[in-house]
Amino acid sequence: MIGADGASSRVRAAVSSATPSYTGVSFLEAWFEEMETMHPELAELVGHGSAHAADGTRGLFAQRNGDGHMRVYIMQRTSADWIASNALRPDDTKGIRALLLAEYGDWSPLLPRLITDNDGPYVDRPLFALPVPHA
């Protein structure tokens, strides 16, 4: 049997009592469709691979995928419940965009578009890890 879901593995729980804890870093995933036609400036910025920018507490990581798609991870040191603590819901795309634009608005003018021009809702991905060392 192979159980490969990292800290969230149900198999790991059967062989270890270690529990994952929040790392203090959250990712918010954003998807972009049809990069060449719908988002040509961002397609040029990222190129055919990936691009990233960071300032020590915040970051953006953009990765081109197949079929003209791109995903962007918006990374920040924050509480695991940062969306709810700002009186928002995960499906409140407009509210989350406004909050993130306030947080990243001072970055180079094209970079915040990696946050605000996405096609569809965001996916909240707080990072959890097992204690170190763990075997």
59 part of a folded domain: yes
Enclosing domain of residue 79: 25-126
Per DSSP, the three-state class of 67 is: helix
pLDDT in tens, 89-123: 989 999 999 999 999 989 998 899 999 999 989 99
Burial class, 97, CB count within 10 angstroms (exposed 0-12 / middle 13-18 / buried 19+): middle
Q: What's phi and psi for 80, nearest 5 deg?
A: -65, -25
**13 within some domain:** no
Contacts of 102 (CB under 8 A, 6+ apart): none
- Two tokens, residue 22: 């929040």
Instruction: Compute the distance between CA of residue 104 and CA of residue 15 in angstroms, rounded to an integer.
Output: 42
pLDDT tens across 3-54, in order?
666 677 777 777 788 888 999 999 999 999 999 999 999 999 999 999 999 9
Q: Is residue 61 part of a domain?
A: yes
Establish if 108 belongs to a structural domain. yes
**Residue 10 covered by a domain:** no
pLDDT at position 43 is: 94
Within a domain: 8: no
Residue 92 in domain: yes
Are 134 and 16 in contact, with CB atoms under 8 Å apart?
yes
The total number of structural domains in the chain stands at 1
Question: Cα separation of 83 and 115, whole Å?
Answer: 15
User: pTM for this one?
Assistant: 0.86
Residue 55 domain-assigned (yes or no): yes
